[in-house]
Chain A
Amino acid sequence: MSHLLPLALRSAWNRRHTLGLTLLAIVLAVTLLLGIERVRQDARAGFAHSVSGTDLVVGARASPIQLILYAVFRIGETTHDMSWEAARMLAERPEVAWTIPLALGDSHLGYPVVGTSADYFVHFRHGDRQPLRFAGGRPFEALFEAVLGAEVAQRLGYRLGDRITLTHGGGGFTGAEHDDKPFTVVGVLARTGTPVDRSVHISLQAMEAIHLDWQGGAPIPGFSIPAELVGKFDLTPKSVTAVLVGLHDRAAVFALQRELDGYRAEPLMAVLPGVALSQLWDLLAVAERALLAMSTLVVAVGLAGMVAVVLAGLGERRRELAILRSVGARPRDLFALLALEGFAVTLLGALLGLLLVTVLAAGLGPWLQASYGIAPSHAWPTAQEWQWLGWVLAVGTLASLLPGYRAYRLSLADGLTPRI
């Protein structure tokens, strides 16, 4: 065997161009496989980390996934709200440590506007229980002040002190601007990689104020309250979309959930965010599996290409095999020679693919984070990835047995005089 290795290397070097292309195909296939797998896992992790530290999400009764879509992802049209009384009731319960009320519905140039309280900046957690940080400025204090998520500020080029107008509803209707009551940007949050980055935050009172002279989604004709005068009105919110709840003791979560689900005064619903998030993710699992199937196919094509190239080259190598036979190589040596080549190409391809993925993850990480909110969680391969590589290697090796076997048969049939 050891005397074959240098021969195998020289022979492979002699055919480096075709083998190089095969290697490239395998490297790219492995990169794709691992890359897709990484993005999938990181996307899932990012998804699951879009809210953390929240024990319950409470809202008007609807589907749990819908509630999560509003409360966490700020997507969708709110149809039912819960009353402010219910939100206050929640906040005053002894087992509740904190609440963050959320009122959705308005937007700014397509970005959702979130009416909330100052507690948002204190208690909201994302990722690995990380609090929100201010990249600049401070939380809102006066009525018409807004705090922007990182992406809103960056994409729209806003700075502290800029004035913005909000749009009633999801946008797209002219004349539905709250242009009589502009907001001043007083804070910009640091990037989180979560939907927070895409949100414009204002106080619940401000949310109430801009809708004082509105009814049913349109300004009340002939009735308008100037911004200076809104302070004379009662700005206590009437309803909120959802409330994020943190408990003193997590153990109380199921009891509270059950109690809220049976709340008499109005139909409420309490959702464990982790459970709902994974349900939501499962909805996307079909696409996920399709991606995985695709990348598996790409690897299969790469390996098949390798086998095809090695097999096709075998015709030209019959002389070489006969010469090796004449100087004492056994048919099984020739089998090993061919199988070894396939194994080596697959191994090299798998390792280079891994290297490429690692380099790409390190190089593209910040960009991925900024553009898609996907934070590459690790540069080094995980156990799962090693397992994938193991599979690729096993299949590649198995596939290389085919040319090996063919060489074995040929050398037995040809003996010292190859027929062509």
Chain B
Amino acid sequence: MKSRHFIIHRLAWSVFVLVGLSILIFFIARVIPGDPARMALGPRAPQWAVDNLVKELHLNEPIYVQYWLWLKGVLHGDFGTSLVTRRPVSADIKEFFPATLELIVVAAIIETVGGILLGALSARYSGSWFDSLVRLIAYLGVVTPAFVWAIIFMLIFGYVWPILPILGRIDSNLTVPPTVTGLMTIDSLLAGDFEAFKSAFLHLLLPALALAMGGMSQAARITRASMSENLSRDYVGSEMAAGIPMKLIILKYVLRPSLIPTVTIIALDIAAMLGNAFLVELVFNYPGISRYGINAMLTKDLNAIVAVIMVIGLAFVVMNFIVDLIVAYLDPRIRLQGGK
């Protein structure tokens, strides 16, 4: 009963956040200087063509009317036309979003597993050489931006010791599997083409690792800190006194409360990857939504900007929702006291 209440509450909140975000971004995109119609058509286009485009985009209407028209479209799955690609924005998103999604899923797995494992081991053996090593790497990981990792990995694994592919989504002499989900790995599996799957997967590794380094380091540090803190709690002493084996105490009794801050950090970092992937996608020449979004901003491609931001916003909302569920699972105080 209580958990259903909790979920409905959170869902309503999510919708509210998304609507708020759409209003905000819609207005901001329109008030920043620069005439989108002129930019789309170029400086030499005749004035009548620009005027026509302005009318077509309803840019001459009051802004709340524009928003209303936009919202009506969105509810029918229509995000308008891109001024640059001249295709429906939704088609562009459908093409670029799965590529980034795939990248982020792999990065998220690396980040979660690596961060928790390193942090937990480091806390367990705190003071050892292993702990010092992890702390050093984690420190470097936090202060080094993802694109620097991207370049380092590219140099190491692409040139010095070329064991992994560094450009694009799949080997250029393989046939690209027919698009079903847009996720290259899944599509190649659906087509039964294991060679393509292997290639697509290997192409993901370096960009995903570069993307995950920062978050993984952050997660390792947080996990280490919260595990150390929990390890010094009295209940660990009483569990030891009861003769419960140390391994069980750590893996069960200490890990669960320690994961609460970690989960929050990881999830928000994953959502942020959608936007942060830009330079990594650029370095690895990876056709993802982050690159698309930055291009849209540079060209003031109004519909594309709003759509990309909405996708990123949606990702944050979904991740937040997932975090809330996981944290509620981990921490009964939140679950049973109504999400305060």
Decide whether A and B assemble into one complex: no
Give B contacts to A, CB under 8 Å.
none
